[in-house]
Amino acid sequence: MKRIPAEKRIATSVLVIGSGGSGLRAAIEVAERGGDVTVVGKRPKSDAHTSLAAGGINAALATMDPGDSWQQHAADTLKESYFLANPHTVEIVTRGAERGIEDLVSYGMPFAREDDGRISQRFFGAHTYRRTAFAGDYTGLEIQRTLVNRAAQLSIPVLDTVYITRLLVTDNTVFGAYGFDLEDGTRYVFHADAVILAAGGHNRIWRRTSSRRDENTGDSWRLAVDAGGRIRDPELVQFHPSGLIAPENAAGTLVSEAARGEGGILRNALGERFMSRYDPERMELSTRDRVALAEYTEIKEGRGTPDGGVWLDVSHLPRQTIMERLPRVYQTLLELQMLDITREPIEIAPTAHYSMGGVWVRPEDHRTDVVGLYAIGEASSGLHGANRLGGNSLIELLVYGRIVGETAAEYSARLARQERSEAALEQARAEVDGLLANDGAENVRALQRAVRNTMTEHAGVVRDEAGLLAGLAELAEIEKRMRDIGVHPDIAGFQDLAHAFDLKAAVLAARATIEAALERRETRGAHNRSDYPQLDESLQVNLVWSGPGQITRETIPPIPDQIAALMRDVSTAGKLVE
């Protein structure tokens, strides 16, 4: 008789996978409604990726500009998505944004305020009005702290060192998840009526990225696809314009967009303020895709710094402005480079920053194709299209966290019976057992590096068919080598096993990204095809990936007339690189 490893069994109405902003907000909603909820994460909740978001959170509060409205916020979002965002999703987020801010305030969020008590709001690139609320330049950190505190008040259990390896599904209905403890390897079986995926995106699969090691490796995508879900628009990846180049171990660390919002200037190695060539009207306040592409072009055409970057200069701003509005940028550069930004410019380059695509979900409640399974935050899709406006991701967490928490709690309360499948559980056990039994010659970390090199060389800021096909060939070779990996837990814990699952996720996410990038034969937003430099109206669709070689085109609903009336034409002037 086969020995079953020691397992802890936990039953909960709703299981949330991911302890960042979206996961905690969903869990808070379930708990406030009297539901039973458990949160699991593979890193400490206080150190979730949400805490790195610097610049701010969007809502048409009209505290600074009375003319602002949710309709204008929606119009800006849809316009800058290059018409790939779902109008229903956009309306839900922009309509619900004020409620999202109110929720945060009620939990104790310390927003920056004007002298008369109004919440301060500032400009972010491509917004018509000042609608970005903030707390210094560490907004995400304060939001995460606020949500962690609220979760603690509600006594929500958060397991910080549990890695989820597989969702448990039978007859296309989720009934829980399987995982292990990163420190001692203890297995976990979670029985749950509903499961919420909130484990982030996939931008760690590039060499220079704003994500830290072992986060945003595509976990949500792999879990969803293995369970029977699909991925929408995996090729649409936002490259943030301002990632640090040095030191190497911190390459990609973000310099907040607030640095440009407060008046920072971009210059090339010749000292030229080069944004005048790419967007003379908005200059440094242009959209992220255009600024990133402008930097890429300057570097590629030989006007970059010797280390392959450009200069971001805030030294002309008053020192008091920098210390009050950009304190985290100031501190980060002092710690990492001993650089005083009040005196010297910062060397930056585009860095993989945000997955604008993600798990396919319905706009109204973020249900996936699998009954009882939901996805939120960067794990999901529908809001950003081909270009995400700065500050929109944080408000998405609050709006859909509340909606999905409510929906999952109601689904659990209505459930007539709970599904179970010993076969599904045995499959999850066997997957972990198989990796632990591996004693191959291939090093997991080396293969992770190979994936990052492939994506950087062949699927970065600018792509073409030859490069993407070369990337697929390299990926196929990596997939072969994965069969011979060695997994070696040691006295320090089971991180090596986690890295092996991260690798599986990264390879799936890389394949989805490259295959969809090949299919999108046009240049639109953050997706730049040098061999197809024009926008193709026939490709104003979402690409939905359901496995290797399986891509379908999904029609996008029409934009409501009241929103369309507020939109300007999307200009591509100065955008095309080759």
Q: Do the Cβ atoms of 166 and 427 come closer than 8 Å?
A: yes
Burial of 331: CB neighbours in 10 Å, binned 0-12, 13-18, 19+: middle
Q: Which of 145, 166, 207, 240 is catalytic?
A: 240
Give per-residue burial for 247-268: e unless 16+ CB within 10 Å, then b: eeeebbbbbbbbbbbbebbbbb
- Please enumerate in sequence order all residues whose Cβ is within 8 A of that of 273, keeping only pairs 6 or more positions apart, or say none: 265, 266, 267, 283
Closest CA to 49 of 204, 186, 164, 178: 204
Give helix 495-519 / helix 422-437 axis angle, nearest 10°.
110
| Residue count of the chain | 578
Would the CA dihedral through 148, 153, 157, 160 be positive or negative?
A: positive
**Do the beta carbons of residue 239 and residue 461 sit within 8 Å?**
yes
Residue 260 designated active-site? yes
Q: Hey, which residues does 196 pair with through a beta bridge?
A: 16, 374
- Which of 260, 267, 290, 524 is catalytic? The answer is 260
Q: Are 360 and 197 in contact (CB under 8 A)?
A: no
Rounded to the nearest 5 percent, the helix, strand and coil shares of the chain are 40, 20, 40
Catalytic amino acids?
A: 240, 260
